[in-house]
Amino acid sequence: MRMYNTLTKTEEELILEKRVRVYVCGITAYDCSHIGHARSAVIFDTLRRYLEWKGHEVIYVQNFTDVDDKIVKRAVMENKTQKEVAEKFIEEYLEDMASLNVKRATYHPKVTEHIPDIINAIRKLIEKGHAYVVEGNVYFHVPSLPSYGKLSGVSVEELDRHRIEPDERKKDVKDFALWKAAKKEDLKAEAVFESPWGMGRPGWHIECSVMAAKYLGIPFDIHGGGKDLIFPHHENERAQSYALYGVEPVRYWIHNDFVTIEREKMSKSLGNIVRIKDVLKKRSGEVLRYFLLSAHYRSPIDYSNIAMDRAEKAYLALKNTLEIIDMEIAALKTSGCENSSSGELETAALNLRTRFIEAMENDFNTPKAIAALHDFSTEANRIVNEGRASLGELEAAFNEFVDLCGVLGLFSDYIRIPPLSQELAELVRERELARKEKDFEKADRIRDKMRGKGYVLIDTPRGTRWKIGLLPFR
């Protein structure tokens, strides 16, 4: 499998052992999560699913930053503690992820649960000459690591312009905070911890270095996140970890591009943030997931109502094929009859698998994998409607289709259509006879009776088929 490695600026073959160790940056829990967070979560969840489908054991870590400047600011504004603010938005995030069918991480560490580990790492950086203390603050000294900038490609000149933490006490303007001395806002929000340098709290970047090392060891395989994290967060994270362990901490740095809103970058200053919870009021989580996978992970994806309408239509087309195959299986099992076999469906399913794997292996090209599913969908609909697939072929094709859709995290809650009992099958035959005799009143009564038992009847040129409808009240 080839993917683009931000560190080397090239597509590389991922050389992975049976156990794959993955770290993906989670949210800073100070507000509702938006569809930019959703894109990163869905992409790396799908990568995880694909690796597991290939037979790897994936140790997947996604942290929660539960103490931070923004969390403190909100806590003070709302007269709450840092913990109260963070826990609220962590819970909301996990609910959003469940709606998107994103699997829980193997570990979801929180910063506040790892303060002793963070302090220990900072102490070691000071001992190694990579960090220094100034009035209760600890800074990483960027010039102490000659390879700083290797991940982001940001030059020294650019670094001077980028630095957003001005402090005259720094040895160099490029230096960044590992530990921040407590301010009155931190005390009010109860966001302070004891340390050898006084009361304070960690800087943002050191947190991920420490938690990744604790749960995955150094070096580990894949570090993921949005491209907005490349600088300064991931650059600083790499610097700290390299300084601590003397080796490249991550083998493959993988980043996804942005979600834009009608061609504009999503930002609070533009007032165009789209929250996940607001999308889920109008669309299913799997439709949003489908949309987020419909563009290559290294390309921007533009969100709009029109784009979501297209995604929903395409998603439902795949679901319709799933139901068409499943309805045919249920009908054949109910009747005890068998279709003739042309072998076309088996060939289509084999071609689907080949194309799907080729797409995913070639820089994780989910749009091409989705295109393969749609091409199979068109072919399968024709073959089934022509009655040219045996029960065995239908079952095999259904399983293949469900399996590959599942790699993308789609149709996880699909419920199989059952064969009918002898009693219900007789009702269906009575209705078919009534329709032939143009006794539509009787046919409608039977249709309504079947609906009351939880089935929706569908008339096709090849006979009556059924789907599961709303279950009757008991």
* pLDDT at 167 (0 to 100): 78
Supply the DSSP symbol for 230: I
* 16 and 113, same domain (yes or no): yes
pLDDT tens, position by position, 405-452:
999 999 989 999 999 999 999 999 999 999 999 999 999 999 999 999
Q: Convert the pLDDT of each residue in 80-115 to its tens digit.
A: 999 999 999 999 999 999 999 999 999 999 999 999
458: in domain = yes
Q: What is the mean pLDDT of residues 192-208?
A: 97
Do 114 and 222 belong to one domain? yes
**415 assigned to some structural domain:** no
Is 29 within a domain?
yes
Is residue 47 in a domain? yes
Statement to judge: residues 121 and 95 lie in one domain: yes
Q: Are residues 428 and 360 part of one domain?
A: no
pTM for this structure? 0.94
**Confidence label for 71 from pLDDT (cuts 50, 70 and 90):** very high
Distance separating alpha carbons of residues 115 and 117, to the nearest angstrom: 5
Which H/E stretch holds residue 20? strand 19-24
- Residue 157: the pLDDT is 67
What is the number of domains present in the chain? 3
- Predicted pLDDT of residue 469: 82
Distances (CA, A) of 474 to 84, 272, 417, 454: 42, 46, 21, 11
What tens digit of pLDDT does each residue of 294-352 get? 999 999 999 999 999 999 999 999 999 999 999 999 999 999 988 888 899 999 999 99
113-137 pLDDT, tens digit per residue, is 999 999 999 999 999 999 999 999 9
**pLDDT exceeding 70 applies to what percent of the chain?**
97
Same domain, 12 and 58: yes
Span of 84-88, 122-126, 376-380, 462-466 with lowest mean pLDDT: 462-466
Residue 454 has pLDDT above 50, yes or no: yes
Predicted local confidence at residue 163, as pLDDT = 53
- Give the model's pLDDT for residue 7: 98
Nearest to 54 by CA among 102, 6, 92, 19: 19
Q: Which domain holds residue 436?
A: 422-468
Q: Are 102 and 227 members of one domain?
A: yes
How many percent of the chain have pLDDT more than 90?
A: 90
Q: 159 pLDDT exceeds 80?
A: no
Q: What is the pLDDT, as a whole number, of residue 474?
A: 30
Write down the pLDDT at residue 164.
Answer: 57
Distance, in Å, from the CA atom of 160 to the CA atom of 334, rounded to the nearest integer, reads 73
In a shared domain, residues 119 and 241: yes
Looking at the fold, whether 439 and 375 belong to one and the same domain comes out as: no
Cβ(222)–Cβ(20) under 8 Å? Answer: yes
Residue 216 falls within a domain, yes or no? yes
Q: Find the helix or strand (DSSP H, E) in which 61 lies.
A: strand 57-62
* Mean pLDDT of all residues in 197-219: 97
Confidence (pLDDT) at 269: 76
pLDDT exceeds 80 at position 402:
yes
Q: Are 23 and 82 contained in the same domain?
A: yes
Asked whether residue 300 is assigned to any structural domain, the reply reads: no
What's the mean pLDDT when you consider all of the chain? Answer: 95
Q: Which residues pair with 23 in a beta bridge?
A: 61, 223
pLDDT attached to residue 471? 47
